[in-house]
Amino acid sequence: MKRFIGILSLLMVLSSGSIFAQVAGGKNQSIFDALQESGNGGGTVVVHQSDALRKMVGERFQGVNVETADTVSYIKMQGFRIQIYSGNDQRKSKDEAFLKEREVKEMFPDLPTYVTYKAPFWNLRVGDFRTHEEARRIQRQLMDAFPNYKRQMYILRGEIRIPMNN
């Protein structure tokens, strides 16, 4: 079995192509240039794209950062969260934010929660959503589960954390 997997792996490596083709001058060309070259018996391919897209091919995407916490790696990127609570009462807001966090965790244990303090506000935000539609769907479920929180609940754009193992 190990020998079969080894041979299969070797065949895959040997047969795989590259995004960049080698030209006679020793210079790498992009996949766009390679596609547009005409060859014997081949057709013509015309690729229309902006110069910005051409420059991005092969480059690492700049909008994503990787963070490791508790042996789990996360991709940090722009997305959406749902704000459930925001308060600035020095005596009650912190306790209120953590109380609401516990209530949300009881009903939605898989939903990540974030209690933050940015003077003078204590905020409770939940979720790491890639799209507004995904956040809206969960917001409706939260509004049904917690009708008293409806007035303060809304969707915010911001940095989110997506586990890399998902």
Same domain for 131 and 74? yes
pLDDT at 156 over 80: yes
Distance CA 158, CA 141 (A): 21
CATH number of the domain residue 112 falls in: 3.30.70
pLDDT digits (tens, 9 = 90+) for 35-73: 677 677 777 777 777 777 776 665 555 555 777 777 778
Domain extent for 46? 2-56
What rounded mean pLDDT belongs to the chain?
A: 79
pLDDT at residue 133, as a whole number? 97
Same domain for 144 and 76? yes
Same domain for 138 and 73? yes
pLDDT at 126 over 90: yes
For residue 61, tell me if it sits in a domain: no
Total domains present in the chain: 2
Same domain for 73 and 52? no
Same domain for 76 and 50? no
pLDDT digits (tens, 9 = 90+) for 80-123: 999 999 999 988 999 999 999 999 999 999 999 999 999 999 99
Distance CA 102, CA 96 (A): 10
pLDDT at residue 120, as a whole number? 93
One-letter amino acid of 43: G
Same domain for 112 and 32? no
pTM above 0.85, yes or no: no
Distances (CA, A) of 41 to 37, 38, 46: 12, 9, 16
pLDDT at residue 25, as a whole number? 43
Same domain for 89 and 10? no
Residues 6+ apart with CB under 8 A from 126: 81, 82, 84, 104, 108, 111, 112, 113, 114, 138, 142
Same domain for 87 and 12? no
For residue 93, tell me if it sits in a domain: yes
For residue 77, tell me if it sits in a domain: yes
